[in-house]
Amino acid sequence: MSPFLKKLLGIVLIFEILLFLMLYYFGPNGWHVITALQEQKKQLTEEVNQLSNKIVELEIVLQTSQTAFEKEKMARERLLMKKDNETVYFKK
């Protein structure tokens, strides 16, 4: 093999390795995208857990409030629910 051909093959090999590494990290399904998706999944899991805990707390409060009046009071005051065509006023 001639020295020119060896040098050319070496340059091509280095170029292919660099191209592979760039696509591996920055490609459409590369390492960069995967780590970003994992971080997003972690944040969404935390948000789901917080909302699940809030639901459990509200269910416990709802179970302790036995009368319909207490349930409606909680819905209006804590959850800010109202009937159609109704205005709600708050005391401070």
Q: What is the pLDDT of residues 58-89, one digit of tens each?
A: 888 777 766 777 777 777 677 766 676 777 66
Separation of alpha carbons 31 and 26, rounded Å: 7
Q: What is the pLDDT of residues 16-60, one digit of tens each?
A: 999 988 888 888 888 888 999 999 999 999 999 999 999 998 888
Contacts (Cβ under 8 Å, ≥6 apart) of 25: 31, 32
| Full-model pTM | 0.52
Separation of alpha carbons 90 and 77, rounded Å: 8
